[in-house]
Amino acid sequence: MKSTLTRIGQGALALAFLSLGSVATAQDFTKVAVVDYNAILKEYYKAKDSQKQMEELAGGYQKERNDREAALKTLVEGINALQKDMQDPAISDAKKKEKENQLKAKGEEGQVKQREMMAFGQTASKILEDKRQRLTTELTEEVNKALATVAKNKYNMVFVKPQVPSPGALIFSEGMDDVTQQILGILNKDAPSGSKKEEKK
């Protein structure tokens, strides 16, 4: 059930900000910069907070799942014990009937628990994914805003440095301005004092 914001680096934030046309001129396409999104995700305090939120939420769901699995395992062990008791040739008919009723009840309980566990897993996965998408959208908007501030009236294009080169991706950026630290400066200017101390380390 692990689902954290580390996926952002491969998802919504891994975007190439091309053609900032509102500030570009048709004649000059030499004003090109690059940004390292992996560094932003690593150093932006809100990205780290979001990662922590996702880990805590996923951890809570995993604990509940483990508890449910343990309860189901105990129930199965009880069913196995009843089945073993019923195979005892010395058991009386009345006792056997009693254990049959217990076995039936536990079997029905087990089916209910299995359905509940499946429903829980689906619900937890959806909640985690919805939260991840919401946090990703919020972070993307904030990074985009900071990027636009840095690029305005200065750069025509800003490319993302890819974590893993892929067809069509920027793989060489010598001579281009790297605006990563400028963007981080904007994003982290309001970081809590604890976050700023952690960044300095």
Return the higher-pLDDT residue of 115 and 159: 115
The structure tokens listed for 171 are 């793989």
Look at strands 157-160 and 32-35 and give their pairing: parallel
In terms of C-beta density within 10 A (0-12 exposed, 13-18 middle, 19 or more buried), how is residue 186 classed? Answer: middle
pLDDT digits (tens, 9 = 90+) for 74-119: 999 999 999 999 999 988 999 999 999 999 999 999 999 999 999 9
- Note whether 184 and 38 are within 8 A (CB): no
pLDDT confidence bin for 156, thresholds 50/70/90: confident
- Note whether 157 and 31 are within 8 A (CB): yes
CB contact burial 161-171 (16+ within 10 A = b; e otherwise): bbeeeeeeeee
pLDDT digits (tens, 9 = 90+) for 160-179: 887 666 655 555 666 788 99
- Does this model's pTM top 0.75? My answer is no
Which residue range forms the structural domain that includes residue 153? 5-200
Q: What is the DSSP letter of 22?
A: G
Q: How many domains are contained in the chain?
A: 1
Kindly give, in sequence order, each residue whose CB lies less than 8 Å from that of residue 79, ignoring residues fewer than 6 positions away. 103, 106, 107, 110
The structure tokens listed for 154 are 């200065």
| Sign of torsion over alpha carbons 11, 12, 14, 16 | positive
SS3 168: coil
SS3 93: helix
Alpha-helical regions (H) of the chain: 37-43, 45-86, 93-151, 180-187, 193-200
Mean pLDDT, the chain, whole residue set: 82
